[in-house]
Amino acid sequence: MAAASTVPGLDTAHLEEHGWAIVRGVVDPGVCARACRCIDDILGPAVHTVQADGRGQSDEALEATGSRWPDPEGLPLISSGGPWRTKVMHPIRDSVTAELVAPLAPLFAELYRCERPQDLKLLQHMFTRTDALPPTESAAATDSSSPSWHLDDAFLEEHRTSTPMQMYYHSMLALSPVRANGAPYLVCPHSMRRAREIVRGLGDAEDLFDPGEGRTVLPALILPRIPKEEGPPHEIYLEQGDLLIHDPMLTHSASDNLGAVPSRHVVFSTFFDASAIGRTLVGLRNRMAAAPPSKFPRELREALPQEWRSLLEWELPLQDESRAQSLAEQSRILSAGVTSMEEKGRAEAEPAAEGAQGGSSSSSSSRKHDGAPRL
Ligand SMILES: O=C(O)CCC(=O)C(=O)O
Ligand SMILES: [Fe+2]
């Protein structure tokens, strides 16, 4: 196994165990405030309805058509992420975007154990503004809001332990404070441990799918097997300039802005090591895959320090339709394989279930603590 990374200010042990960690004060508050103004200029003032029409294609539309990102000289991509939540993606033609990328790059190069800084690549840079719900909506939301739990992606253990890392982390940089009732990011405690147990438990099933694109079926397989009853969601609060790094295998959800701040601005960035191209970075069918690096505009490219311009030089193989169909079939086979492994595990554990609590202190796995084994 590779030695763990050490990154100043980052609790990598916490990241490994819980799937998230915060690095405080990564970007200067003045830069954050300028980035907020840039987004407000694009979207208009934070009001109770944001019009996303006519200013670019939505990322869902890009996914559906498989079409490429809008011309980098054109307008930013804007789409709605639910009521009062708006996503803005490149091309954002403001040099402040470079000031949000440059402080993060050395941190990710170290975290991924990149051989050379030039190997680090920027996959996405997505701004989200979550405006306060109007009071009438806010009252209803406290009664009925249900988090939309999901995983963004999943990796095998070997993708984490390889040097350089063949997985990526997402990050969320707070451009404004993120507080209680101000759209905090919600995470499901213990979900990371569960997700990794499931992936480790695949063991024999691993050869059912190829280690590259087949991996993209994993999130759909993992999510239904993660219990939600293990405690209330954990809310993550950030000060302006703080960076949250989160594992895409962590079950999480956005939340509404119930009025603690007029609008919550964050930028999601995703970096990866170039050696993952064609290995784990294949077959992506989300907003990141639809976007070529040329989506990043001249303003970002030119404002990046010379040594980090290579962040924007990469190309991902696109997935064709027949490949997508064969992946759907693999997903079905894999799912069936895991279900039968679960059944087998349950049958084996049944006779021992009574004594499992008492005998679990030394070598028993955490699965046995529950009495009911789960993959
Ligand atoms: O805005 C948030 O807090 C989370 C958004 C999210 O989960 C996503 O974009 O995948
Ligand atoms: Fe997400």
Residue nearest to atom 10 of ligand 1 (CA): 152
Please, which residues have CB within 8 angstroms of residue 286's CB and are 6 or more apart in sequence?
A: 59, 63
pLDDT of residue 372: 22
- Tell me the ligand closest to 128's alpha carbon: 1
Q: Is 151 in the pocket of ligand 1 (CB under 6 A)?
A: no
> Cβ(125)–Cβ(101) under 8 Å?
yes
Q: Which pair of tokens denotes residue 140?
A: 């209803």
Select the highest-mean-pLDDT range: 112-121, 150-159, 331-340: 112-121
Which residues, in sequence order, are bridge partners of residue 174? 266
| Ligand 1 binding pocket includes 252 (Cβ within 6 Å) | yes
Nearest CA to ligand 1 atom 5: 254
Query: Which pLDDT score is estimated for 294?
Result: 81
Atom of ligand 1 nearest to the CA of 170: 10
| Closest ligand to the CA of 256 | 1
Give the Cα separation of 240 and 32 in Å (integer).
Answer: 7
Closest CA to 246 of 168, 356, 143: 168
Q: Is the pLDDT of residue 367 over 50?
A: no
Whether the predicted pLDDT of 87 surpasses 70: yes
Whole-number pLDDT of residue 98: 97
pLDDT at 2 over 80: no
Q: Is the pLDDT at 184 greater than 90, yes or no? A: yes
**pLDDT value of residue 6:** 84
What domains are there in the chain, each with its CATH number?
Answer: 20-188+233-319 (2.60.120.620)
Per-residue pLDDT band at 20 (split at 50, 70, 90): very high
Sign of CA dihedral 146, 151, 157, 161: negative
pLDDT recorded at residue 349: 63
CA of 151 to the centre of ligand 1 (A): 10
Say how many Å lie between the CA of residue 148 and the centre of ligand 2. Answer: 9
DSSP state, 296? Answer: S
Q: Say what the pLDDT of residue 23 is.
A: 98
pLDDT higher than threshold 80 for residue 334: no
Q: Which of 77, 149, 151, 152 to mutate to test the pocket of ligand 1 (most atoms within 8 A of CB)?
A: 152
- Residue 147 pLDDT exceeds 90: no
Q: Residue 99: CB within 6 Å of ligand 1?
A: no
Scanning the structure block, which residue is given the tokens 């992936």?
199
Residue 342 confidence (pLDDT) above 70:
no
Report which secondary-structure segment, H or E, holds 344.
helix 321-349
Is 152 close to ligand 1, i.e. is its CB under 6 Å away?
A: yes
Is the whole-model pTM more than 0.75?
yes
The per-residue pLDDT for 313 is: 92
Model confidence pLDDT, tens digit, residues 59-68: 555 555 555 5
**Phi, psi angles (nearest 5°) of residue 150:** -160, 165
Per-residue pLDDT at 357 exceeds 50: no
Atom 6 in ligand 1: residue holding the nearest Cα: 254
| Secondary structure tally for the chain: helices H, strands E | 13, 10
